Amino acid sequence: EVQLLESGGGLVQPGGSLRLSCAASGFTFSSCAMSWVRQAAGKGLEWVSAISGSGGGTYYADSVKGRFTISRDNSKNTLYLQMNSLRAEDTAVYYCAKTRGAYYGSGSFDFWGQGTLVTVSS
């Protein structure tokens, strides 16, 4: 059974940093591209970042480019999102999502975690 378990969310001040983790199990982690998708309260989904199965390719939405860094440790089956210079508009539930296959651009996110809430406020 595929499981994705996010952690690391919480309250942080504007300009602060936070690192999210997503522990994966039930599938061959290194074979799948992974993404982070966020959702502000009462709002729609927003793709944030993606990483290839090997970790050699990383991709970002313009809204987070230069501030967020996605990475993965295939030996630990874990995905990460390092978030720096956080802003109020980054407040959202952050989901990690597995791509159905190797190419994140297909957008075929077939499994999602339960989400972790990030609140940026003073």
Partner 1 sequence: QSALTQPPSASGSPGQSVTISCTGTSSDIGVYDYVSWFQQHPGKAPKLMIYEVSKRPSGVPDRFSGSKSGNTASLTVSGLQAEDEADYYCSSYAGSNNLVFGGGTKLTVL
Q: What is the 8-class DSSP label of residue 106?
A: G
Pick between residue 12 and residue 37 the one whose CB is nearest to partner 1.
37
Q: Are 36 and 97 in contact (CB under 8 A)?
A: yes
Q: What are phi and psi of 68, to 5 degrees?
A: -105, 150
If one asks whether residue 46 binds partner 1 (CB under 8 A), the answer comes out as yes
Q: What DSSP character marks residue 30?
A: G
Q: Among 7, 13, 54, 108, indicate the residue that binds partner 1 (CB under 8 A).
A: 108
Of 91 and 122, the one with the shorter C-beta distance to partner 1 is 91
In the block, which residue shows the tokens 């997503």?
Answer: 22
Q: In angstroms, give the least distance from the CB of 2 to partner 1.
A: 12
- Which residues, including other chains, have CB under 8 Å from residue 52's CB and lie 6 or more apart? 33, 58, 102, 104
Q: Is 27 in the site for partner 1 (CB under 8 A)?
A: no
- How many residues bind partner 1 (CB under 8 A)? The answer is 24
Site for partner 1 in 65-94 (CB under 8 A): none
> Among 1, 41, 44, 122, which residue sits at the site for partner 1 (rule: CB under 8 A)?
44
